[in-house]
Each structure stands twice: as C-alpha cells, then as structure tokens.
Amino acid sequence: MSVLPPVRRDRIVGELPQCFTKEACLHTRDSFHHTVSSACKQQRTGTVGFKISKVIVVGDLSVGKTCLINRFCKDTFDKNYKATIGVDFEMERFEILGVPFSLQLWDTAGQERFKCIASTYYRGAQAIVITFDLSDISSLEHSKQWLRDALKENDPSSVLLFLVGSKKDLCSSSEYALMEKDALRVAKEMQAEYWSVSSLTGENVKEFFFRIASLTFESSVLAELEKTNARKIGEVVRINSNDTNLFQMSKKNKSKCCQ
Ligand code: GDP
Ligand code: MG
C-alpha cells in the first residue's frame, strides 16, 4: 500500500527539459542518457523511485529564495517580505520517464543573515541552487562564498550546481544584459548551470525546477546502475578469490597436518 500522495498531473516529465541558455549549459545532450531511458523502460531503476533527492537553496538574505520555492510548489507570490522562520523543506513529487521521483527543496530559516547554516542543512545534497538578485550585484559577488560553504558538506564531483538570478522582472533589458554577462562568467568559474527567473511573473520557474528534477533523476539512475554493475562484478571476484583462498588454505592445512 502506498502512503505517498499521487503525482500532480503537471509534474510529469517525458523528455529532458532544455537549458535556459546554451552558453551556460554544462549538460549539452538534448535528451536523457540512453542507458537511463532504456533502464526506465525496462523498469530497472532500482531504488531510485523510492528515494528522495535533496536540493538546497542558498544565497544572501532577501534575494528571493523563499518566493522561488513558493512560486513553484504553491504557485503563489507574496509581495510582502516575511523572513523565513522554521520552515525546513517542501516536497515535490514528479514522474520522470514513468518513474516516480521526489525532490526535497530546502529553504533557509533566516540563518543566512548570520552565515551560520547548520551542516545538517547542507549535508547530502544532490543539487545546490545558489541564488542571487539580478538587481543587486553584491549578491552575485557573494555567491562564490555560498558555494564554498555548501561544498564543505558535499562531494563536489557528484553534486549538481545551479546559479540562479532572481527578480528578472525588476531589470530593464539593458541592465539585464550587463548582469547576465557577469553571471555567465561566475557560473563558468563555478561549473554551474546559469538560469534567470522571476517569481513575480513566474518566468522560467517551472522550467528551472523541471530541469533540476530531470538532471538529479538522471544522475541517480546512473549511480544506481553503476552500483548494480559493481555488485555483479564484486560477486564474481569474491567467488574466485574465495576459491583460491580455500584452495590455498586446504593446501596449507594439508602441509601442516602432514608435518
Ligand atoms: P529570501 O530571504 O531569500 O527567502 O527572500 P524572499 O523570497 O523572502 O524575498 C525577499 C523580497 O524580495 C520579498 O519582498 C519579495 O516580495 C521580493 N521578491 C522575491 N522574488 C521576487 C521577484 O521575482 N520579483 C520581485 N519584483 N520581487 C521579488
Ligand atoms: Mg526566506
């Protein structure tokens, strides 16, 4: 019996959502990895459908992290600033290539003001979303420090990174163009995928989270397949080495007993 709520109809992903801009795209394929799609077709995705992937959203106070999560999860926008208090995470359920997949979106509960986010907040993330305000260059400058802090608790080789410029609606197109140049440079240095969004208008918000869900799903399935393959190889090696050991042991024992 399943206790999970049913997937919302609009959270169903059938193909890899594309990156917002080609220049910031680190994963250049335009469809899911073929081993992933065939594993999904044959329902060989192991425990992926039962696991929950953790996404942490970091960045300066008031850059729009809570509004971004609320726009996606609740489709709401509140113009009045309310400091996040006590909210830990929101859960979103997806169905990707027919496989259920859940994202846990972690919001900071006001700790960003003091830069003392507990390591449990950072730990075990599959994706890190570093948010900055497109109308405030200092928040972009601080983004590298946010990344450094978040990476202390995570494996840099496996975690997916996203640099997100928020409040796009506040910029004129010329202001935006200037900011985007800097943001693309920072994203490249970080090895992150760059996006720009507006939680007020909703521009790019759904596309962005679908992209995170799809890329974390893809890497989870690949890791799961690797684990299964390693186990198979491990078993063969174990049998062989046991055989050899047994043989050597019995030879040793024999020689001991004959002495
Ligand atoms: P947090 O501290 O990073 O969680 O920031 P919040 O999400 O609470 O947002 C801080 C302030 O920015 C609030 O007053 C929001 O109304 C405003 N804000 C957030 N996102 C947007 C946006 O996309 N456009 C505009 N115009 N304002 C935004
Ligand atoms: Mg907040």
pLDDT band with cut points at 50, 70 and 90 for residue 249: very low
Mean pLDDT, rounded, for 190-203: 96
SS3 126: coil
Give me the chain's average pLDDT, please.
85
Ligand 1, residues at Cβ distance < 6 Å:
61-67, 79, 81, 84, 166-167, 169-170, 198-200
pLDDT band with cut points at 50, 70 and 90 for residue 258: very low
Tell me how far apart the alpha carbons of residues 177 and 18 are, in angstroms, rounded to a whole number: 21
Compute CA distances 243 → 230, 234, 235, 239, whole Å. Answer: 20, 14, 12, 6
Torsional sign, CA 150, 156, 159, 162? positive
pLDDT band with cut points at 50, 70 and 90 for residue 99: very high
Looking at residue 201, the DSSP 8-state letter turns out to be: T
Q: Is 109 a residue whose pLDDT tops 90?
A: no
More confident position, 2 or 189? 189
Residue 197: both structure tokens together: 């969004």
According to DSSP, the residues that pair with 66 across neighbouring strands are none
Tell me how far apart the alpha carbons of residues 130 and 141 are, in angstroms, rounded to a whole number: 11
More confident position, 238 or 44? 44
What is the per-residue pLDDT for 51? 83
Looking at residue 10, the DSSP 8-state letter turns out to be: G
Q: Is 52 a residue whose pLDDT tops 70?
A: yes
What is the per-residue pLDDT for 251? 47
Tell me how far apart the alpha carbons of residues 235 and 227 are, in angstroms, rounded to a whole number: 12
Q: 15 CA distance to ligand 2 centroid (A)?
A: 31
Residue whose CA is at the smallest distance from ligand 1 atom 25: 167
Residue 138: both structure tokens together: 């200092």
Residue 79: both structure tokens together: 């113009």
What is the per-residue pLDDT for 256? 46
147 in Cβ contact with 188 (< 8 Å): no
| Ligand with minimal distance to 65 CA | 1
CATH superfamily for domain 9-228: P-loop containing nucleotide triphosphate hydrolases (3.40.50.300)
What is the per-residue pLDDT for 128? 97
Q: Is 27 a residue whose pLDDT tops 90?
A: no
Burial class (CB in 10 A: 0-12, 13-18, 19+), 217: buried
Mean pLDDT, rounded, for 173-201: 96
Question: What angle separates helix 65-74 from helix 205-258, to the nearest 10 degrees?
Answer: 90
What is the per-residue pLDDT for 182? 97
pLDDT band with cut points at 50, 70 and 90 for residue 86: low
Mean pLDDT, rounded, for 249-253: 47
Tell me how far apart the alpha carbons of residues 112 and 12 are, in angstroms, rounded to a whole number: 33
Instruction: Give the nearest ligand 1 atom to 131 CA.
Output: 3
